């Protein structure tokens, strides 16, 4: 047992006690242990500066050669995006060194211990930069192959956090204001005729049969209405075996909802109110209270499509 325990010791992950982006002048004199990714490294006159990044933000740590030669040597060998643990004391920066562009620009961490948790040993396929130019300079295939790196980019982090925020406000609005119940419906189900082809999953237990991945929760939500769940919603994952287009993914997520004993007008009003609420809460954008509406016949007669782009308002002319 003791031998097994000794082998497990190197696998223990260091526990941080602070987040990079949450440190401030009030933490001066505090000893901290930080964990994160190396965003930038530079050396100057016996000093090594390391910008450490985690999910909360970034902070600069500094190491001097005379005081901590071993730490200085470790830091000097680090490549960008290596994962490290840093221990040291928070201190105020000299006035001339304050970086107004960083939320933590008034302080730095005087590091006396740096442990490499995961080192980068070769050049990165693309830079992890605050400028959103990577998607223009590097093919999507490369970014998807190195998806872990791609998701470290600030723009991708921002996109996913925005998506999370939208879903959070959808849930709060429907549950708290309108008493909806969120119910997850099955993913493995029976194949039923819909607008596209099904993705089929063979059954190991029952050879010769298969499950279908749902194109929408349509049948399930109708069953819920008949079962007495009068207000239902879910953030539903849907699958459609069709060609990839700019506005269509074979796997996608949608807000699915249903209300019993109501009119189409009430459902349209609810969706308008929900959109107004989301844009206001998430983007601080005020939408008009009444959305323009077109019937299908009017849209086809005027624009030749059921989804006209009204930014241009190009109508058909005989």
For residues 203 and 8, give the distance between their C-alpha atoms in angstroms, rounded to a whole number: 40
Can you tell me the mean pLDDT for 303-318?
83
Alpha helix stretches (DSSP H) within 129-263: 134-137, 140-145, 147-150, 154-172, 178, 218-226
Range name among 177-186, 255-264, 294-303, 305-314 with the lowest pLDDT average: 305-314
My answer on whether 187 and 271 are in the same domain is yes
CATH number at 41 reads 2.40.50.140
Domain CATH code at residue 250: 3.30.930.10
Are 109 and 206 within one domain?
no
Burial of 206 (0-12, 13-18, 19+ CB in 10 A): exposed
Nearest to 38 by CA among 71, 86, 2, 5: 86
Tell me the C-alpha to C-alpha distance, in Å, between residue 162 and each of 148, 159, 166, 175, 222.
19, 5, 6, 20, 31
Look at residues 198, 208, 285, 272 and name the one whose alpha carbon lies nearest to residue 242.
198
Is 277 found in the same domain as 185? yes
More confident residue, 45 or 200: 200
Looking at residue 14, what is its pLDDT? 76
Classify residue 232 as left (phi > 0), alpha (psi -120 to 50) or beta.
beta
User: Which structural domain, as residue segments, surrounds residue 244?
Assistant: 179-287
- Give domain status of residue 137, yes or no: no
Give yes or no for residue 172 having a pLDDT over 60: yes
Q: Tell me the per-residue pLDDT of 2-33, one tens digit each, with 9 for 90 and over.
A: 666 565 556 567 789 999 999 999 999 999 99
Residues 188 and 109 in one domain: no
In a domain, 60, yes or no: yes
Name the pTM for this structure.
0.85
Verify that 27 and 103 share a domain, yes or no. yes
Is 251 a member of any domain? yes
Range 178-201 average pLDDT: 92
Closest CA to 59 of 33, 28, 20: 20
The per-residue pLDDT for 10 is 61
For residues 178-195, average pLDDT = 92
Mean of all residue pLDDT scores within the chain: 92
For the chain, the domain total comes to 2
């Amino acid at each position: 047992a003791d031998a097994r325990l000794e082998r497990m010791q190197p696998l223990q992950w260091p526990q941080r006690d602070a987040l990079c982006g949450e440190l401030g002048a009030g933490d001066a004199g505090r000893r901290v242990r930080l964990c994160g990714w190396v965003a930038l490294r530079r050396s100057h006159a016996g000093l090594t500066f390391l910008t450490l990044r985690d999910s909360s933000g970034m902070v600069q740590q500094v190491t001097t050669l005379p005081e901590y030669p071993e730490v200085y040597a470790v830091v000097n060998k680090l490549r960008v995006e290596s994962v490290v643990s840093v221990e040291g004391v928070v201190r105020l920066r000299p006035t001339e060194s304050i970086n107004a562009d960083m939320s933590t620009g008034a302080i730095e961490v005087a590091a006396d211990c740096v442990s490499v948790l995961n080192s980068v040993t070769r050049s990165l396929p693309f830079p992890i930069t605050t400028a959103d130019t990577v998607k223009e300079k590097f093919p999507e295939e490369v970014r998807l192959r190195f998806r872990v790196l791609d998701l470290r980019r600030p723009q991708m982090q921002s996109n996913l956090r925005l998506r999370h925020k939208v879903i959070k406000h959808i849930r709060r609005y429907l549950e708290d204001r309108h008493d909806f119940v969120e119910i997850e419906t099955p993913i493995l189900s029976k194949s039923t005729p819909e607008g596209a082809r099904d993705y089929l999953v063979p059954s190991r237990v029952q050879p010769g049969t298969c499950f279908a991945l749902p194109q929408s929760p349509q049948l399930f939500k109708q069953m819920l209405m008949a079962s007495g769940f009068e207000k239902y919603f879910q953030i539903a994952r849907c699958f459609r075996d069709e060609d990839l287009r700019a506005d269509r993914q074979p796997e996608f997520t949608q807000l699915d909802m249903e209300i019993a004993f109501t009119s189409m007008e009430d459902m349209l009003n609810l969706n308008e109110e929900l959109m107004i609420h989301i844009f206001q809460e998430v983007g601080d954008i005020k939408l008009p209270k009444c959305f323009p509406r077109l019937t299908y016949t009017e849209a086809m007669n005027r624009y030749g499509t059921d989804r006209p782009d009204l930014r241009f308002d190009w109508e058909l002319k005989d």
